[in-house]
Amino acid sequence: MSYEYRVIRVEKGADGVALIVLDNPDETMNVVAGRFIDDMNAAIADLRDDASVTGVILTSGKPAFMAGADLKLMVTGYGRMTKREAYEFSHNATRMHRALETMGKPVACALNGLALGGGFELALACHHRVLSDDPKAIVGLPEVTLGLLPASGGTQRMVRLVGIEKALKLLLTGKSQKPAEALAYGIVDALAPADKVVDKAREWLASKPEPTQAWDRKGYFIPEMRGMLVPENATASSLAAANIARDGGYNQPAGLAILSAVFDGMQMPMDRALSLESKFFANLLTDTVARNIIRTTFISKQAAEKGARRPAGVPKASFTRIGVIGAGMMGSGIALVSAAAGIEVVLIDRDVAAAEKGKAYSQKVWGKQVERGQLSQAKMDEMLARITPTDDFARLEGVQLVVEAVFEDVGVKNETIRKVEAVIPADAIYASNTSTLPITGLAEASQRPDQFIGLHFFSPVDRMGLVEVIMGKQTGSVALATALDFIARIRKTPIVVNDSRGFYTSRVFQTLVYEGAAMLEEGVEPARIENAAKAIGMPVGPLALLDEVTMDLCVSIVEQAIAQKDPNYVPRGGVPVLRTMIGLGRGSRKAGAGFYDYPSDGPKRLWKGLAEHFPPAAEQPDQDELKTRFLYVQAIETARCLEEGVLETAEDGDLGSLYGWGFPAWTGGTLSYIDTVGIARFVAEADRLTQAYGPRFAPSPWLRERAAKGETFYPEAKKEAA
């Protein structure tokens, strides 16, 4: 007999086993939502009271088992949900999971595919877990990466299964595990082929197992329940707290909430521990950090990847063969990701040897994956065969797209444009990979400027997910649509910006490094500068970044802006510092020395000679002031980009800042940060910084007007403030 619900199916067999099949007809993937919880509660009650049912198996009618909660609902927590409402939001699922594991009948979970977040928490509430032995069938609790914690028993069941140390490694990183890893770790009990997971679960039920969890049995006790009385627990908790502070400062509260939920929860009976977990979750869900992270890293990112900025009415482009001109670091990376996406690549450089060297990069990257068992030799050979290294431009005949990644010199690029356009089809799109050269100017060398567009990839291409798409003044909608279709094909995240010196990402990134140099010029200790940047969540300090990008380039950009009387140029501090360093022969890591020394026998370290050339002031500023300067100087410049039309949407600005140069995720991005501070308060603080440090912090009349009107960058921010 079959019971019909709305998003699940319940099927009873003659063997006494009832199968609960998760299969929401309205979604491509099962997610935790109100309808699902209602159906599960009804099914649990029905099966609990049915004497003919001796065991239960949960599985999915979709390729994946289950994702977590619908994040589109989660992003509304801040400003629209009270903590009591957030608690109930969490505890509704918690109560359902608790009813499942205490129904008095053994429950097995047949995980036929991916199970993350709330989906894996459901599996943890079952008494036995069988996972599909497929590399794509990953499991885990990634909530910390969204500024949250697992809120349906994940923190409590995980630690009771594997202990504090192992549980925290997963909970605090959000790391997912492949089947063999999950089995070895102890968070699943068995593996089986995808079409056999239900059969394997039946075998376990046939063994007449205990219908309860270990923690619900009389006399249950594990060492972790003694808290700080166990030295190992005290050490693990102390180290975890220190690592949280080291990796993200105290800007992201989720890590400390997880640590507290785990440690405190182990001192309590299960039901009280689950209630505590929901309270911690409620605090996080109603905080700005989770809202910011979810909105940018999930909702905005997903929308961009699905074509939010793609022009309507343009047929979708397909790619069988493209050209990549320049086989250096950028070109070789572009060739790699294109070939991995199934596209044939003609890789051109000045001679065949240089082109073959570019192809060798793919062989090196994929070769390491083969060694680690992540890629088969046959697959590697197949992908390598798609890359044709050559110096013959005639091989470009028939390509749909050319991505040029030659040296950042207008003359070199202009010559390349002429050679390429002499060969490629009339309808092919020409994309120039550049980080600074204006696309409109480069397009002047093109015979078809409407088919000319900029694509700014980030290095290394195979690991960096963002691509900045630059529209020249004459770039047409077909070129934009084609570029976005290509980016989707190679599985990157696009932002679309209009032409400008440095475009968006390079322009705003520069403000960070110049501010660090300005601080050094003022007498701030270099270690204090670097630590302040890392304390707000930047991955690297500005002085270390200057060593990587080379100071000559930064000074050259300033000199060009001044010489060309760029109306949008804002004077930056710190330029004299860069000139001094260049004069000392310490202009970059590539040159062998910069703000840091790079000894061959150890890690880099700040150059001791900095104190001689930039003497530290007797009185050092408060770290909070330095952190504020770093955050504000980048946010102000982003607002200028939006005002000038370089940016058209707040979403592009925030995605670009997070994925382009590592602006801290807890802010949601540079414009989201202004909304989080409150635009009126932000402008007032910017005025103070302007008086103290100069016009680079000055809010424009446009930003002041927005502040006066309470006009936020995201419409919901205004509603939240109200």
What is the torsional sign of CA 203, 206, 208, 211?
positive
**For residue 722, is pLDDT > 50?**
no
What pLDDT is stored for residue 323 in this prediction? Answer: 98
Does residue 428 surpass a pLDDT of 50? yes
Measured distance CA(642)–CA(671) in Å, rounded: 9
Distance (Å, rounded) from C-alpha 567 to C-alpha 147?
40
Q: What is the pLDDT of residues 473-513, one digit of tens each?
A: 999 999 999 999 999 999 999 999 999 888 999 999 999 99
Would 291 be classed as within a structural domain? no
- Report the number of distinct structural domains present in the chain: 3
Distance between CA atoms of 160 and 214, rounded to whole angstroms? 9
Domain identity same for 485 and 509 = no
What pLDDT was estimated at residue 719? 55
Give the pLDDT confidence score for residue 17 in this predicted structure: 97
Tell which wins on pLDDT, 66 or 4: 66
For residues 445 and 412, give the distance between their C-alpha atoms in angstroms, rounded to a whole number.
Answer: 11
Task: Specify if 299 maps to a domain.
Answer: no
pLDDT digits (tens, 9 = 90+) for 465-479: 999 999 999 999 999
> Cα torsion at 128, 130, 135, 139 (round to 10°)?
-30
Q: Do 467 and 564 fall within a single domain?
A: no
Q: How many CB atoms lie within 10 A of CB 678?
A: 16
pLDDT digits (tens, 9 = 90+) for 289-342: 999 999 999 999 999 999 999 999 999 999 999 999 999 999 999 999 999 999
Across 276-410, where does the E strand assignment appear?
Answer: 321-325, 344-348, 387-390, 401-404
Q: Are residues 75 and 140 in the same domain?
A: yes
Same domain, 553 and 694: yes
- For 353-403, write each residue's pLDDT tens digit: 999 999 999 999 999 999 999 899 999 999 999 999 999 999 999 999 999
Say if residue 245 is in the same domain as residue 339.
no
Strand (E) or helix (H) holding 130 = strand 128-132
Q: What is the pLDDT of residues 514-555, one digit of tens each?
A: 999 999 999 999 999 999 999 999 999 999 999 998 898 888
Q: How far is Cα 118 from Cα 653, in angstroms, rounded to an integer?
A: 31
Q: What is the CATH number of the domain that holds 112?
A: 3.90.226.10
Q: Is position 436 within any domain? A: yes
Residue 1's pLDDT is what?
44
Helix (H, G, I), strand (E, B) or coil at 158: helix
Kindly indicate the confidence band of residue 658, based on its pLDDT and cuts at 50, 70 and 90. very high
The answer on pLDDT for 2 being more than 70 is no
Q: Is the pLDDT of residue 645 over 60?
A: yes
For the segment 248-267, what is each residue's pLDDT rounded down to a tens digit? 667 889 999 999 999 999 98
- Do residues 137 and 14 share a domain? yes
Q: Report which listed range, 68-82, 182-196, 235-249, is most confident.
A: 182-196
Catalytic one of 97, 127, 456, 613: 456
Q: Domain boundary at 461, 490, 519, which?
A: 490
Q: Evaluate whether residue 641 is within a structural domain.
A: yes
Final residue before a domain boundary, out of 459, 490, 521: 490
Examine the domain organization and report whether 572 and 660 are in the same domain.
yes
Q: Are residues 465 and 562 in the same domain?
A: no
Whether residues 485 and 536 share a domain: the answer is: no
How many C-alpha atoms does 611 have within 13 Å on its Cβ side?
6
pLDDT in tens, 549-605: 889 888 887 877 777 777 777 778 899 999 999 999 999 998 899 999 999 888 999
- Phi (first) and psi of residue 454, to 5 degrees: -105, 140
Same domain, 590 and 672: yes
CATH number, position 574: 1.10.1040.50
For 207-238, what is each residue's pLDDT tens digit?
999 999 999 999 888 877 777 667 776 777 77
What are the phi and psi torsion angles at 485 (to 5°)? -65, -40
598 SS3 class: coil
495: in domain? no
> Could you identify the residue written with the tokens 């894996």?
120
- The string over 44-77, giving b where at least 16 C-beta atoms fall within 10 Å of a residue's C-beta and e elsewhere, is beebeeeeebbbbbbbbebebbbbbbebeebbbb
Do 618 and 683 reside in the same domain of the chain? yes
> Is 456 in the active site?
yes
The residue out of 286, 310, 345 marking a domain boundary is 286
Residue-range definition of the domain harbouring residue 699: 505-721
Q: How far apart are the first and last CA of the chain?
A: 53
Predicted TM-score of the model (pTM): 0.92
Instruction: Say yes or no: 116 and 237 in one domain.
Output: yes
SS3 at position 114: coil
On whether residue 243 sits in a domain, the answer given is yes
Residue 4 has pLDDT above 70, yes or no: no
Whether 87 is in a domain gets the answer yes
| CA 85 – CA 90 distance, rounded (Å) | 9
- For the stretch 676-718, pLDDT in tens is 999 999 999 999 999 999 999 999 999 999 999 999 999 875 5
Please check whether residue 393 lies inside any domain of the structure. yes
